[in-house]
């Protein structure tokens, strides 16, 4: 099985690019973030035309998460939030979508940005990740053999090498953000893409020629639980998807899973 994650930055604006990616790669499951639409607005027909079904979770023109999956895969245990997922200003945003494909539990995650070190959105971001970490830690404690993939846009660059210039940023690289990301490693989750792709970013701002200058960040991840990590055989960052007309500012990340 191959799974991928991609912050598509508006699926209605980029349906053709996303479906062309699916046709080219034939990944089994694509987790999408920032779809920016309600389920009834999703361009299902474009995906069905290339052999994929879709589960979408969106509440308005912001945020939103989804899965595109091959028609022979039947997802189960679909959840539109994880237990104790925090609210922001009394709203439970569309930032998490969980589904089980085969024996793998996948969460498509669009972690809050943070906005500023002293912004309430930063507290929201840290709480979001803390509660997610608590949830998956409980699952692994109950069943250490659980096959769990946490995939998506984490809006954190955990290492200095994950950003073109660490001094350029305040958010994404702060110690509280990095500390809460490190908790997933302590629980037992692994980012194998550092082995498969030692160098490479997943996001480049549209401004100031960031992409031609390769001034980017690695903030999109596939984090695998211990048992799932043993099954991941290859990984890639699809940098070329940032090229051409109307790209997302993020690119897909793919993992190949045996068995």
The tens digit of pLDDT for each residue in 36-53 reads 999 999 999 999 999 999
H helices of 143-190, where? 175-187
What pLDDT is recorded for position 259? 84
pLDDT grade for 165, boundaries at 50, 70 and 90: very high
2-7 and 29-33: which strand pairing? parallel
87: pLDDT confidence band, cut at 50, 70 and 90?
Answer: very high
What phi-psi label fits residue 191: left (phi over 0), alpha (psi between -120 and 50 degrees) or beta?
beta
- Burial (CB count <10 Å: 0-12, 13-18, 19+), residue 225: buried
Q: What is the tally of helices (H) and strands (E) in the chain? A: 6, 11
Query: Tokens in use for 250?
Result: 């993020």
- Domains defined for the chain, CATH in brackets: 2-257 (3.60.10.10)
Question: What number is the average pLDDT over the span 154-179?
Answer: 97
Cα–Cα distance list, 70 to 26, 55, 170, 179, 223 (Å): 9, 12, 40, 36, 22
Residue 193 has pLDDT above 90, yes or no: yes
What is the C-alpha separation between 224 and 22, in angstroms, rounded? 22
Angstrom distance (rounded) from CA 90 to CA 112: 15
């Amino acid at each position: 099985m191959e799974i991928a994650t991609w912050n598509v930055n508006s699926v209605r604006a980029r349906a053709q690019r996303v479906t062309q990616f699916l046709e080219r790669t034939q990944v089994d499951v694509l987790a999408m973030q920032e779809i920016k639409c309600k389920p009834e607005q999703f361009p299902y027909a474009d995906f069905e035309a290339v052999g994929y079904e879709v589960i979408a979770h969106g509440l308005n023109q912001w945020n939103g998460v989804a899965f595109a999956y091959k028609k022979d895969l039947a997802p189960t245990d679909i959840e539109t939030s994880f237990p104790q997922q925090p609210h922001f200003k009394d709203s439970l945003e569309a930032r998490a979508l969980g589904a089980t494909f085969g024996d793998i539990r996948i969460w498509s995650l669009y972690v809050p940005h943070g906005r500023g070190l002293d912004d309430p959105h930063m507290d929201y971001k840290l709480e979001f990740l803390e509660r997610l970490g608590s949830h998956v830690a409980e699952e692994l404690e109950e069943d250490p053999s659980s096959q769990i993939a946490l995939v998506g846009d984490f809006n954190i660059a955990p290492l200095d090498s994950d950003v073109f210039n660490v001094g350029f940023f305040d958010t994404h690289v702060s110690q509280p953000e990095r500390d809460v990301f490190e908790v997933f490693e302590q629980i037992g989750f692994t980012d194998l893409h550092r082995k498969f792709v030692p160098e490479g970013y997943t996001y480049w701002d549209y401004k100031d020629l960031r992409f031609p200058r390769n001034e980017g960040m690695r903030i999109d991840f596939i984090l695998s639980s211990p048992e799932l990590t043993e099954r991941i055989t290859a990984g890639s960052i699809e940098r070329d998807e940032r090229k051409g007309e109307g790209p997302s500012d993020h690119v897909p990340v793919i993992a190949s899973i045996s068995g």
